[in-house]
């Protein structure tokens, strides 16, 4: 929202602005207060936040250093109001100079994830005791360092509001602790990720394997807070959703805690018109079953919110009188529950609309966590009146809940029938995904930009997750596709089709059709972005053909520079237009993750200084890095050189590759060399294996001067001689007949 005629005062850390003049055409969200009767936060003195702030205590912030300074506002008396406007995206994982910080920067005292996994593997540590000892101490110390950076304390009488489309905080944890009268509005909170989750072998989820990984940070945390209005925000884990997290000790490596948790005696809170998306444990109201500060408090109104792609806790309640009304629920296919009825909770659920995916049963919307009752009125499920309580009780005769919680809400401004909620829109205004085609214009989707770009054109993508299937046809020769930030994880092209996913006509996509991106243009370049296929195998047990391609590339002289490819099976399909055509592709400083045959095809492909992550499926074999189908007359297939393979899988459970013969083609004779590459212990001592009746010994597999715990020699590990190694170089693979040398 544009504010006019500010009085400006400059400081070295941030910009201080005064209030807009009278007569401004649009209301200033920083000056707005919670309307009367709008939920529990309107009770008593109401919630006004920093609306009365004087000019010297109104701040505009654009980075973490400015945000920290504005929230502290050392010139401000503890009880005086202030407004903090956030412009653009504030990255909390930065130091005082603006330098980006990674998990490695926070790690201390010798902490490594590999070391932690080895120390507390249930096969070693057992499942009776929580982790303790030097590595757990190092994990806690590392987490403390991260907390000092990303924890953002909020004082009383404060309004924090996004100004303009796309305003938000990424990686930060807004902490409203022990204060009164706070408003948080119009912000996108993304990827509040814990670098150091803690393993708890005794923390169990219903219907799941024992144990859980627990994270420390909520995007917004209320503890002992009163009169808080959280309105019009978007909460998301993108671009790193937990649905894509690796699995350790048979449990997802949970890197995010709550999106909005209200605990430790917090009271008089209204949560309205927010979008909660792409998350597991969404909203917790109440600290523990034995809390002595929660009883009599935790009065919360949750209304006109959209819960989309969430798995549980929307909300889970202990003790509180919580009015849940006029919300839209679109849960994930692997829903655990929406409303958690906890000890002494008094949830009054009214006029909510549920849109359930095929196979999700209405009784899953509730779970009894030791409660006695929930009052439910006016629920619609896919447009039909439905009692979720009756469905739950019928399915759970030993956990039956009553229907009278003993109170009736009165602070219910805006209450409307559930049918009007079916198309509810909520959340912060997203930044327009400005995709610029150099010399042509800006476009809203990746595909529309590609379609508009000329051959040889450049398409630049701003930060964001682009949920679409993308095709670059052969006619777009020389096209450049690049992320604007220089960081691959900031710009993600994502879709979730699998080979077995059904099309609208009832047929399935097949492996090639599952690709998020299909790129056929010669001389194509991609830089600083991510191609992801986020198909979730666990959420779709009905789909058995789980190949899910992130990118299929068939062009010649293709360069991928600092590009990430994410999926599970068949991540990267490096191919050529036809069996009779060769295609050269150079993957430099790229990251590739997967498990089964996740680098495959008949292209001549070089992976130089790549990071290859072999995911842990918990089996043996865990998977296969490559499945090349090089044509017999092509001496050059896949070359992995100067790279690092990483894996948390158990030792000796991964193969380097197997020979793929598409359609049992006898002329597909895989050619793969791993040289000067670090191999983890997960790689088998016999690293090549047969496929579909074709022996690996008939393929052209070799290694040369590899290192790491998974390296070795022997009769089942063909090695290049020094003379042969001189023939299998980056330049030899890529030169072809035209001398192409992108390296």
Is the pLDDT reported for residue 673 higher than 60?
A: yes
What's the predicted TM-score (pTM) here? 0.70
Task: Take residue 563 and report the two structure tokens written for it.
Answer: 């590009």
Share of the chain above pLDDT 90, in %: 83
Point out the least confidently predicted range of 95-104, 408-417, 620-629, 686-695: 95-104
pLDDT in tens, 457-513: 999 999 888 989 999 999 999 999 999 999 999 999 999 999 999 887 789 999 999
Q: Can you give the pLDDT at residue 651? A: 96
Reduced to 3 states (helix: H, G, I; strand: E, B; else coil), residue 685 is coil
Higher-pLDDT residue of 319, 209:
319
| Topology, domain 8-421 | Pectate Lyase C-like (2.160.20)
Higher-pLDDT residue of 385, 12:
385
Q: Can you give the pLDDT at residue 497? A: 94
Confidence of residue 362 (pLDDT cuts 50, 70, 90): very high
CATH superfamily of 458-735: Single-stranded right-handed beta-helix, Pectin lyase-like (2.160.20.10)
| Mean pLDDT, all residues of the chain | 92
Q: Can you give the pLDDT at residue 9? A: 29
Residues contacting residue 423 through CB under 8 Å, at least 6 positions apart: none
DSSP string, 393-444: HHH-TTS--BS--S-----BTT---GGGGTT---SPPPPP--EEETTTEEES
The span from the CA of 586 to the CA of 439, in Å, is 27
Half-sphere exposure of 293 (CA within 13 A, CB side): 13
On whether the CB atoms of residues 439 and 456 are closer than 8 A, the answer is no
Q: Can you give the pLDDT at residue 24? A: 42
The span from the CA of 62 to the CA of 13, in Å, is 10
Q: Can you give the pLDDT at residue 333? A: 86
Q: Can you give the pLDDT at residue 664? A: 95
On whether the CB atoms of residues 84 and 59 are closer than 8 A, the answer is yes
How many other β-carbons are positioned within 10 Å of the β-carbon of residue 579?
14
Kindly give the interhelix angle for 113-120 and 134-150, rounded to the nearest 10 degrees. 140
Confidence of residue 105 (pLDDT cuts 50, 70, 90): very high
Q: Can you give the pLDDT at residue 498? A: 96
On whether the CB atoms of residues 220 and 176 are closer than 8 A, the answer is yes
Fold agreement between 8-421 and 458-735: yes
Is the pLDDT reported for residue 11 higher than 50?
A: no
Q: Can you give the pLDDT at residue 164? A: 87
Q: Can you give the pLDDT at residue 688? A: 98
Confidence of residue 76 (pLDDT cuts 50, 70, 90): low
Q: Can you give the pLDDT at residue 347? A: 98
The catalytic residue among 313, 316, 658, 700 is 313
Helix/strand number for the chain, H first, E second: 10, 59
Confidence of residue 205 (pLDDT cuts 50, 70, 90): confident
Confidence of residue 74 (pLDDT cuts 50, 70, 90): low
The domain ranges of the chain are 8-421, 458-735
The span from the CA of 654 to the CA of 382, in Å, is 45
pLDDT in tens, 572-604: 999 999 999 999 999 999 999 999 999 999 999
Q: Can you give the pLDDT at residue 627? A: 98
Q: Can you give the pLDDT at residue 16? A: 30
On whether the CB atoms of residues 422 and 380 are closer than 8 A, the answer is yes
Is the pLDDT reported for residue 19 higher than 80?
A: no
Confidence of residue 10 (pLDDT cuts 50, 70, 90): very low
How many other β-carbons are positioned within 10 Å of the β-carbon of residue 328?
21
On whether the CB atoms of residues 657 and 701 are closer than 8 A, the answer is yes
pLDDT in tens, 119-154: 999 999 998 899 999 999 999 999 999 999 999 999
- For the segment 53-76, the average pLDDT, to the nearest whole number, is 87
On whether the CB atoms of residues 682 and 650 are closer than 8 A, the answer is yes
Q: Can you give the pLDDT at residue 77? A: 57
**377 is an active site residue:** no
3-state secondary structure 347-380: EEEECCEECCCCCCCHHHHEEEEECCECEEECCE
Is the pLDDT reported for residue 313 higher than 90?
A: yes
């Amino acid at each position: 929202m544009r504010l006019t005629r500010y009085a400006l005062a400059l400081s070295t850390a941030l910009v201080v602005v005064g209030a807009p003049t009278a007569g401004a055409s649009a209301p200033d969200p920083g000056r707005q207060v919670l309307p009367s009767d709008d939920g529990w936060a309107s009770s008593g003195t109401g919630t006004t936040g920093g609306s009365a702030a004087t000019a010297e205590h109104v701040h505009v912030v654009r980075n973490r250093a400015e945000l920290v300074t504005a929230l502290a506002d050392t010139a401000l008396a503890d009880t005086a109001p202030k407004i903090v406007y956030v412009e653009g995206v504030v990255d909390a994982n930065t130091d005082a100079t603006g330098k980006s910080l990674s998990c490695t920067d926070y790690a201390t005292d010798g902490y490594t994830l590999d070391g932690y996994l080895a120390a507390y593997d249930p096969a070693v540590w057992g499942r009776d005791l929580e982790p303790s000892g030097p590595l757990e101490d190092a994990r806690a110390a590392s987490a403390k360092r991260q907390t000092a950076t990303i924890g953002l304390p909020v004082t009383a009488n404060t309004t924090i509001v996004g100004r303009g489309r796309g305003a938000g905080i990424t990686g930060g944890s807004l902490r409203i602790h022990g204060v009164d009268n706070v408003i948080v509005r119009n912000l996108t909170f993304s990827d509040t990720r814990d670098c150091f989750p803690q393993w708890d072998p005794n923390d169990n989820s219903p219907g799941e394997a024992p144990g859980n990984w627990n994270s420390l940070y909520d995007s917004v945390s209320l503890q002992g807070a009163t009169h808080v209005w959280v309105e019009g925000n978007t909460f998301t884990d993108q671009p790193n959703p937990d649905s894509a997290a690796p699995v350790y000790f048979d449990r997802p490596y949970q890197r995010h805690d709550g999106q909005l948790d209200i605990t430790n005696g917090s009271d008089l809170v209204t949560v309205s018109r927010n979008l909660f998306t792409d998350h597991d444990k969404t909203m917790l109201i109440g600290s523990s079953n034995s809390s002595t500060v929660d009883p009599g408090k935790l009065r919360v109104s949750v209304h006109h919110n959209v819960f989309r792609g969430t798995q549980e806790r929307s909300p889970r309640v202990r003790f509180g009188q919580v009015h849940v009304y006029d919300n839209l629920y679109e849960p994930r296919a692997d829903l655990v529950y929406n409303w958690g009825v906890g000890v002494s909770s008094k949830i009054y659920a009214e006029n909510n609309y549920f849109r359930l995916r095929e196979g999700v049963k209405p009784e899953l919307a509730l779970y009894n966590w030791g409660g006695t009752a929930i009052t439910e009125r006016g629920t619609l499920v896919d447009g039909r009146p439905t009692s979720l309580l009756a469905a739950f009780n019928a399915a759970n005769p030993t956990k039956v809940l009553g229907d009278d919680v003993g109170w009736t809400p009165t602070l219910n401004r805006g209450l409307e029938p559930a049918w009007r909620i079916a198309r509810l829109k909520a959340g912060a205004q997203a930044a327009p995904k400005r995709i610029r085609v150099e010399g042509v214009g800006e476009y809203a989707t990746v595909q529309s930009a590609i379609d508009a770009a000329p051959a040889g054109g450049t398409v630049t993508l701003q930060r964001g997750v682009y949920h679409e299937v993308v095709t670059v046809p052969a006619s777009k020769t020389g096209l450049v596709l690049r992320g604007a930030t220089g960081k691959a994880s900031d710009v993600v092209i994502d879709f979730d089709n699998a080979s077995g996913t059904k099309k609208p006509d009832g047929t399935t996509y097949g492996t090639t059709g599952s690709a998020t991106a299909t790129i056929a243009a010669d001389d194509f370049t991609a830089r600083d972005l991510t191609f992801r296929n986020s198909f979730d195998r666990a959420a779709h047990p009905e789909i058995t053909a789980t190949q899910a391609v992130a990118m299929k590339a068939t062009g010649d002289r293709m360069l991928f520079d600092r590009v990430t490819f994410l999926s599970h099976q068949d991540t990267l399909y490096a191919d050529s237009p036809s069996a009779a055509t060769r295609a050269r592709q150079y993957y430099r400083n790229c990251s590739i993750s997967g498990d089964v045959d996740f680098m495959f095809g008949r292209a001549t492909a070089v992976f130089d200084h790549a990071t290859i992550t072999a995911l842990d499926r918990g089996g043996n074999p865990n998977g296969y890095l490559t499945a090349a189908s090089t044509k017999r007359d092509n001496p050059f297939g896949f070359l992995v050189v100067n790279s690092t393979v990483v894996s948390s899988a158990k030792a000796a459970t991964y193969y380097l590759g197997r020979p793929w013969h598409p359609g049992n083609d006898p002329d597909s004779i895989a050619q793969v060399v791993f040289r000067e590459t670090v191999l983890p212990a997960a790689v088998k001592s016999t690293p090549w294996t047969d496929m579909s009746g074709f022996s690996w010994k008939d393929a052209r597999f070799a290694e040369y001067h590899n290192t790491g715990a998974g390296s070795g020699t022997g009769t089942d590990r063909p090695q290049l001689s020094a003379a042969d190694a001189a023939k299998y170089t980056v330049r030899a693979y890529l030169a072809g007949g035209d001398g192409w040398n992108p390296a």
